[in-house]
Structure 1
Amino acid sequence: MGKKTPKKEHANPRVLSRTIIREEVPRLTQKEYIHERLKDQINWYGSKSEWNKKWYVRLKKCELAMAATIPVIVSFMDGPLCLKLIIAILGACLVGIGGLHGLQNYHENWIEYRSTSEVLKHELYFYQTKTGPYKDEDDPFPLLVHRTEEIISHENINWNNLCGQSKKEGKSPTMGR
């Protein structure tokens, strides 16, 4: 009656790994969660946003410079063969940069990551000032965890959708992420 039955070992590795993970995940305090999860995610999304913005702007500047150079060089078309070669190289570079924009999604990633970082910051500020959705909560921490994980999960779902769409179009979604 008061005897506990021993737990069965799971043959299925997925079930076993879920069991192990559940037992190994330590419970975080409010301070630990805010520092190790929420602020870490804010910083991660912020730095990824910056990285994607830098590459987007760099490539756009190159693209504009090359595109502006072609008409100038074309005006000297009766000139030496090297001008024709320069035009061909610039055109090929423009195509390459356009392809990189399509494959890497620098602009989309920049906007998405910045947006997620800002939403997470707002969530933290609402929590710290006990305003917004935390205003009437006796214990606002579980709500913070729930809302934070929902925001992160939403961004991950968007990323997975982009991966699926990119695979259908023959693009590589992992590049630039």
Structure 2
Amino acid sequence: MEDKTNKKQKNSTGSSQNYTHNPYDTKIEMYGQKYNYHQITTHNDYVDYFMKRYMEQVIWYDKKAVINKNLFMWYQRIVIFLGALIPIIVAVGGYVPAIKEYSGLMSAIISGVIAVVAALDKLQQPMSNWYNYRNIAENLKKEQYYYDFKIPPYQGLNEMAMKRLFVERIEGTVASDINRFLQGVQNQDDEDDNPTDDILKKNPPPIS
């Protein structure tokens, strides 16, 4: 009896020495739906990378894409709605004295709100961020299919070489986005450090 119980304990713990639970049973909730890590990969020896790095990056970029898309759409809705509201106020003011009295003030307030929203849209650039985050998220997902079906550049490689190449390409994709962000910050700093450039463009010195 003791030998049998020992064997059962060894069998139950021998396959999960590195994990207290089956990592593929782990589920995360995103946008009201639950995702299973088993749908992402079935490579036990690289489960830490897939779960803690790859999957987190896919979720992060996908979430950022949705946030920026919604932000861009809301900015556009506000501008369109308020922009159409100004001529309506002017037209209705011709028939309603109460509105006519304050039509100028109302139009000025609405124009100011439109200017603020347009400035926020230009400052935050949600449309370009939306496209960029969605592109990276889809590229990360696509890379995993290339790996699973051994599509070039994974075709003809052994398992270890495929894994190394996969990690290199994933990290390269993430690094390129970080470099793009840093380059954008540097360019913005350069523009802020040289405000005279814009002044000279608008007011060029006279030619002698």
What range is the shorter-chain TM-score in?
0.7 to 0.9
Deviation at 1:169, TM superposition (A): 4.2
In the alignment, the residues of structure 2 paired with residue 165 and residue 67 of structure 1 have an alpha-carbon distance, to the nearest angstrom, of: 32
Show the counterpart of 2:145: 125
Show the counterpart of 2:105: 85
**Is the partner of 2:131 in helix, strand or coil?**
helix
Over alpha carbons, which structure has the higher Rg? 2
1:78-115: CA deviations, max 9, x gaps?
A: 54332111100110011001100111111111110000
Structure 1: state its 5+ residue gaps.
Answer: 1-28, 171-177
Identity %: 26
Which of 59, 81, 98 matches 1:43? 59
Between the two structures, name the one with larger relative contact order (CA 8 Å, sep ≥ 6).
Answer: 1
Q: What is the correspondence of 1:1-177 to structure 2 with a 5 Å cutoff?
A: 29-76=45-92, 79=97, 80-138=100-158, 139=160, 140-170=162-192
In the alignment, the residues of structure 2 paired with residue 81 and residue 129 of structure 1 have an alpha-carbon distance, to the nearest angstrom, of: 70
1:101-149: CA deviations, max 9, x gaps?
A: 1111111111100000001111111112222211111120000010111
Amino acid aligned to 1:65: F
**Is the partner of 1:48 in helix, strand or coil?**
helix
Amino acid aligned to 1:137: L
Distance of aligned partners of 1:88 and 1:55 in 2 relative to their CA distance in 1, 3 Å threshold = same
In the alignment, the residues of structure 2 paired with residue 49 and residue 33 of structure 1 have an alpha-carbon distance, to the nearest angstrom, of: 23
Which 10-residue stretch deviates more, 137-146 or 65-74? 65-74
In the alignment, the residues of structure 2 paired with residue 59 and residue 169 of structure 1 have an alpha-carbon distance, to the nearest angstrom, of: 25
Deviation at 1:165, TM superposition (A): 2.4
Amino acid aligned to 2:188: S
In the alignment, the residues of structure 1 paired with residue 73 and residue 188 of structure 2 have an alpha-carbon distance, to the nearest angstrom, of: 22
Amino acid aligned to 1:37: R
Distance of aligned partners of 1:169 and 1:81 in 2 relative to their CA distance in 1, 3 Å threshold = farther
**Is the partner of 2:52 in helix, strand or coil?**
helix
- In the comparison of the two structures, how many residue pairs are matched? 143
RMSD: 1.7
In the alignment, the residues of structure 2 paired with residue 31 and residue 137 of structure 1 have an alpha-carbon distance, to the nearest angstrom, of: 20
- What TM-score, normalized to structure 2? 0.64
Distance of aligned partners of 1:146 and 1:137 in 2 relative to their CA distance in 1, 3 Å threshold = same
Amino acid aligned to 1:148: I
1:15-46: CA deviations, max 9, x gaps?
A: xxxxxxxxxxxxxx411111111111010000
Show the counterpart of 1:24: none
Amino acid aligned to 2:187: Q
1:51-88: CA deviations, max 9, x gaps?
A: 11111101110110011111222234554332111100
